[in-house]
Chain A
Amino acid sequence: MNPLARRRLVQVALNAAGLAVFLFAVFPVYWMVATAFKPNDQIFTTSFIPFPSPPSLDHVQRVFTKGVGELPIWQYLLNSTIVALSAVVIGAVFALLAATAVARFRFRFRTSFLILLLIVQMVPAEALLIPLFTMVKRIGLYDQMLGLIVINVGLTLPFSVWMLRTFVSAVPKELEEAAWIDGAGRFTTFWRVLFPLVAPGLVATSIFAFITTWNEFVFALTLINDQGKYTMPVALNYFVGQRSTDWGGIMAASTLMTIPVLVFFLLVQRRMVSGLVAGAVKG
């Protein structure tokens, strides 16, 4: 075989492999969405029906009106949104302050603090669950969304600081110094110079924290008892437990839960990788 034909063959094989990877990754997600839009007789069948034909909105409508468990799904979507947004906003303020401290200043315990950030991320959430459960009970935050918000701030903060500090370091110090020379105070410099430049990084970090909180399962499962305060993951688990064979409804609920994450993901995936493998990937 001549080299040109060989190269072409290799390229075809590579593209075929790429397609196979694509299908393996996408099919379960596609199947979730497809099942959500299938009428029941196309779901409960031993034959393979690739597309909903015709698509039906029955299940989606049902989870919105009659609901998951006893309440319509928007209640859980709303709860999840409240918890995630509150945790993200509070966490973003704390993270930005701490990230500025470690990125802009040299001080005693700076290295210790950074190493602490790494280590606390490694402690399994299930290990913190038991003591936090008793703590939350003692201070009367059990079965309160506020308790869940506070805990999610704690769970996401170490990684947020870790990720945000690289964005703060990336802003040239000279800009702040120029503002100082022009007579701007410390707060003005922070607010008018550093903040706008770090904002894109803050958005990326916040989206990551949002996804983590949105997906968080075990704390929401343990600390919330009242069904009206369930977040989406817990509601989905409850739904599966109650109506384990209602696959159309379950898939509709899963789809509604996945969409916001998917959108956010495509927005920040590049920065997320650089944040997670911080330092190991150069360039």
Chain B
Amino acid sequence: MTQTSTLARGGADTSAPARRSRKPTRGPGLSPRAVPYVLLLPGLLVIAVLLLYPIYQMIEMSFHKVGLRQIKAVNPAPAEFVGLDNYDSVLGSPLFWSSLRNTVVFAAVTVALTLILGTLVGLLLNRLGGKMSTFVVVGIMAAWATPPTAQAVVWKWLFDSDAGVVNWLLNLLPDWLSRLLFGRSDWTGEPWFNDTSTLYFVLIVAVVWASFPFIAVSVLAGLKSIPSELYEAAKMDGSGPVTTFRRITFPLLKPVFSVLVVLSIIWDFKVFTQLYLLAGGTTNRDAFNLSLWSYAEAFGGSAPKLGLGAAIAVVLTVILLLITLVYVRQIVKTEDDIR
């Protein structure tokens, strides 16, 4: 690229043409223009077969009735085209509204809490001394690194009704305070996983715990890139911490925040593993979100309805892609070398 422009400017640099002339002769038999395509081919094939084609198939299946007879290994029956029936069942089901509510409320609360906590911790890390900062970063890394299945299991244990640490902690509260706040004073034996709202409370705690470290570390990386002169100038002008954050930190970190918001929404919208383990599989229909509902229809029962499951997945994907567009636009805008 650079060489072409030197030439276009009519530069008298003698070494440039010499360098140029060697380049196209490289690689016997393979024209240099074909090279990037050849390099790209294996990866593109993988993406086409394992990601793009399944997306197309998911959409196609959502218009068909696909059950046991259609997926058996020997001599499967052809899928029956049912038009919009699956979508009718999805939108007409009471489970749609409860799953959608669970999905949206969970994502909204979790994204907000994760971002607030993560940002505060990021700001805190930026003001801590070197050693203390490293110490805290290593600590939050432990939460971040815990595999989702292990996260779910650990929080289930912490919220165990009899021997869980959380009930023990709540029992420590003075009786009058506990009664004032929660209307009760004895927490021993309190089950957390029977009720959908308390189950989701535990899920929110678990997911926020596991995802705030990423936000904190990203915000910290962003903060380190802001020149300290700006803060010194703000201080000279008598700006307080809140004003400084609103007028300097936030505007400069806005691109970081918008990416983090969208990534968090995407991750929290489709939470599956932790919910599956906390809810104990697909038996508790009240606790379904869209991901778990789709899974339950397709694989949960003795009569799998893959077409219906695919229709639910399409609805979820459309919601996510609408949000994703914002993310893609943001990245295309900030990443100079993409074009």
Contact = CB atoms under 8 A, between A and B. Distances in A.
A116 interface: yes
Contacts of A218: 272-273, 276, 295
Given A26-B139, A126-B270, A130-B58, A281 B218 contact: yes
B316 A48 contact: no
B146 A280 contact: no
Contact of B324 (A106, A114, A122, A181): A122
A111 to B, nearest CB: 6
Nearest to B338: A114
Interface stretch (B5-13, B89-97, B253-261): B253-261
Interface stretch (A54-62, A63-71, A195-203, A261-269): A261-269
B143 A247 contact: no
Nearest to A263: B145
B306 A134 contact: yes
Nearest to B34: A107
B149 A247 contact: no
B256 A237 contact: no
Given A111-B338, A217-B149, A129 B321 contact: no
Interface string A199-232: 0000000000001001101100010000000001
A154 B33 CA distance: 27
Interface string B324-335: 100110111011
Contacts of B183: none
Contacts of A100: 39
Interface in B284-339: 291, 294-295, 298-299, 306, 309-310, 313-314, 316-317, 320-321, 324, 327-328, 330-332, 334-339
A101 B39 contact: yes
B207 interface: no
B295 A278 contact: no
Contacts of A105: 35-36, 39
A261 B210 CA distance: 14
B230 interface: no
A126 B272 contact: yes
Interface in B128-177: 128-129, 132-133, 135-136, 138-151, 153-158, 160, 162-163, 165, 168
Nearest to B332: A115
A10 to B, nearest CB: 9
A106 B306 CA distance: 42
Contact of A251 (B129, B157, B209, B298): B157
Contact of A15 (B132, B155, B310): B132
Nearest to B52: A120
Contacts of B180: none
Nearest to A189: B26
Contact of A134 (B66, B224, B273): B66
B47 A47 contact: no
Interface string B17-46: 001001100110010010111011011101
A84 to B, nearest CB: 12
Contact of B27 (A186, A233, A265, A277): A186
A151 B328 CA distance: 24
A9 interface: no
Given A29-B154, A115-B328, A130-B298, A101 B36 contact: yes
Interface string A117-159: 1111011111111111111010010100000001101110110
Interface in A88-122: 93-95, 97-98, 100-102, 104-107, 110-111, 113-120, 122
Contacts of A53: none
Given A31-B157, A111-B339, A169-B337, A22 B140 contact: yes
A178 to B, nearest CB: 10
Contacts of B272: 125-126, 217-218
A241 B320 CA distance: 31
B111 interface: no
A258 B151 CA distance: 10
Nearest to B225: A283
Nearest to B155: A28
A24 B222 CA distance: 24
A118 B149 contact: no
A15 B130 CA distance: 11
Interface of B: 1, 19, 22-23, 26-27, 30, 33, 35-37, 39-40, 42-44, 46-47, 49-55, 57-58, 61, 66, 71, 73, 121, 124-125, 127-129, 132-133, 135-136, 138-151, 153-158, 160, 162-163, 165, 168, 188, 209, 213-214, 217-218, 221-222, 224-225, 255-256, 258-260, 263, 266, 269-270, 272-273, 276-277, 280-281, 291, 294-295, 298-299, 306, 309-310, 313-314, 316-317, 320-321, 324, 327-328, 330-332, 334-339
24 contacts: A14-B124, A18-B125, A29-B154, A102-B36, A107-B36, A122-B321, A124-B313, A126-B294, A127-B310, A130-B61, A131-B54, A131-B57, A131-B61, A133-B298, A151-B50, A158-B47, A181-B22, A214-B147, A215-B148, A217-B272, A217-B273, A240-B156, A265-B145, A280-B259
Given A124-B291, A269-B141, 12 more contacts: A14-B124, A94-B42, A118-B331, A119-B321, A126-B295, A131-B310, A134-B66, A150-B50, A222-B299, A237-B149, A250-B157, A265-B144
The 4 closest A-B pairs by CB, nearest first: A154-B50, A283-B225, A98-B43, A279-B335
